[in-house]
Amino acid sequence: MRLKRDPYHLTFWKENPVLLYALFFLLGIAFKISFHLVLLVLLIPLMISCTKRSILGALFFLLALFYAENDHDLSSPEKISGIFYTKKISRFRSHFKSGTTYEGDLVTDKGKFPTRTYFKGKKRVRGDVLIKGILKKNGPFRYSLKPTSFKEIKSGFSIPYFRYSLKEKAKRFIKKHTSKESSDLFSALFLGDLQNKRMRYAFQRLGISHLLAISGFHFALISCLIFFLTRCFFSRLTSLCLLLLLTSCYVFFLGFSASIFRAYIVLFCLVLGEIFGKKTSIYNLLGISALIEMIINPPIILNIGFQLSFISCFSLLFFAKYFERALFLLFPKRSLNDIKNLNLLSQNAHLFAAFFRKALAITLSVNLAIIPLLLFYFHTFPIIGLLYNLFIPP
């Protein structure tokens, strides 16, 4: 007697419930922020496709409605004063001016505003400040403040300033030992900070700007390197613990952007699973990282880095295998015995075909998913990037 199998979509959600609840939570935040009825249209098929878990999913949706906050109605720039709590400090440099940019939360009697402000020249503060200025709304949950006066609050140790100081020292070290162009590239690859606008534009034209954003690909390389080096001297358990410690320090040094935080949470959960002998689906890990980011900062769903990071990651995990199966028609897979019977030239050709099949499947799965977003935000898509991404994974 044959057992009746559940449909694939039911099996998928049964195996990956955290990803499902993250989607419900995301839809709840999006509905609260934008109040578009079309989001309810997306909610209905999601609930139908997972009938057994739809009640708990609906609870996540309702929780997001109560948890997320509405944006402020600031139709025109206005004078404002309050306390600015710094989260990130970075330098900006152009042909006309240079200075320091501060990102954080501006708390006033009207509420909390996610704000970016700046100080020209060498003027710099170490942490939180009492500030007055002109506040302008640049978009949903995005504000800029032109300061007119400020007074630094002496609050002792400042994590953002400490991180900024470490990065500046690292940049000076890189600049001292490399050429100018190379130092800009290495700063982007290892520190996630690129000030050279010409280089950024060139990478965007080639469709490989993902190399300049520290994400899962970078973490995978760094993690493999750390684990390989530590495994030469320590036990497997010690190497895994050192991997967690060193990557945690690296993330603290870099800061918590969407792509970095997503890659770190996935890596952290994977390593913890290896330590305690517990394994879970990579989709669940993706859902956990998305949930944590949305709980910490609900408006992050409007961030293009968050959208591109999670859509490309999910598409790579879900669609790449189907593209690879389809490409078997063009590049058929051979058994090991058949490969051994081939001459050397044919063996090398088969190896290249296998690499090309895998690379093409990855490139198609990621790029076809993010093309709508790229066209919506940037109104362009670098076709030549499809070729470069065959050799430089997205």
Once rounded to an integer, what is the mean pLDDT over residues 25-51? 68
Per residue in 368-384, pLDDT tens? 888 888 888 877 777 77
Burial (CB count within 10 angstroms: exposed 0-12, middle 13-18, buried 19+), residue 90:
middle
DSSP 80: E
Q: Are 105 and 115 spatial neighbours (Cβ–Cβ below 8 Å)? A: yes
Residue 1: per-residue pLDDT: 42
Residue 39 is encoded by which pair of tokens? 């989001």
151 Ramachandran zone, left/alpha/beta (phi>0; psi -120 to 50) = beta
Q: Would you call 382 helix, strand, or coil by DSSP?
A: coil
Per residue in 307-336, pLDDT tens? 888 888 888 888 888 888 888 888 777 777
End-to-end CA distance of the chain: 46
Once rounded to an integer, what is the mean pLDDT over residues 288-315? 88
Residue 201's alpha-carbon distances to 175, 195, 196, 243, 382, in angstroms, are 21, 11, 9, 34, 12
Any idea of the CA torsion for 20, 25, 28, 30, to the nearest 10 degrees? -100
Mean pLDDT of the chain: 81
How does residue 262 score in pLDDT terms, banded at 50, 70 and 90? confident
How does residue 291 score in pLDDT terms, banded at 50, 70 and 90? very high
Residue 62's alpha-carbon distances to 122, 312, 373, in angstroms, are 47, 27, 27
Q: Would you call 133 helix, strand, or coil by DSSP?
A: strand
Alpha-carbon dihedral sign for residues 346, 347, 349, 353: positive
The DSSP element (H or E) to which 143 belongs, if any, is strand 142-152
Report whether pLDDT(102) > 60: yes
| Percent of the chain residues past pLDDT 90, beyond the cut | 4
DSSP 391: T
Amino acid of residue 173: F
Any idea of the CA torsion for 230, 232, 234, 236, to the nearest 10 degrees? 80
Q: What share of the chain is helix, strand, coil (3-state, %, to 5)?
A: 60, 15, 25
Per residue in 158-213, pLDDT tens? 888 888 888 888 888 888 888 777 777 777 777 777 777 777 777 777 667 767 77
Amino acid of residue 118: Y
Higher local confidence (pLDDT), 45 or 38: 45
Higher local confidence (pLDDT), 58 or 22: 22
Once rounded to an integer, what is the mean pLDDT over residues 141-148? 89
Domain ranges within the chain, ordered by starting residue: 8-67, 78-160, 216-301, 311-388
Lowest mean pLDDT among 96-100, 224-228, 306-310, 357-361: 96-100
Lowest mean pLDDT among 32-41, 86-95, 267-276, 337-346: 32-41
- Give the length of the chain: 394
Report whether pLDDT(347) > 70: yes
Shortest CA distance to 286 belongs to which of 256, 313, 247, 255?
313
Quote the CA–CA distance of 125 and 361 in Å, as a whole number.
48
CATH code of 78-160, in short, is: 2.40.50
Quote the CA–CA distance of 185 and 200 in Å, as a whole number.
9
Report whether pLDDT(4) > 60: no
| Phi/psi at 131 (5° precision) | -140, 145
Per residue in 203-260, pLDDT tens? 777 667 767 777 777 788 888 888 889 988 888 889 999 999 998 888 888 887 777 8
Residue 295: per-residue pLDDT: 92
Residue 3: per-residue pLDDT: 46
Q: Are 148 and 85 spatial neighbours (Cβ–Cβ below 8 Å)? A: no
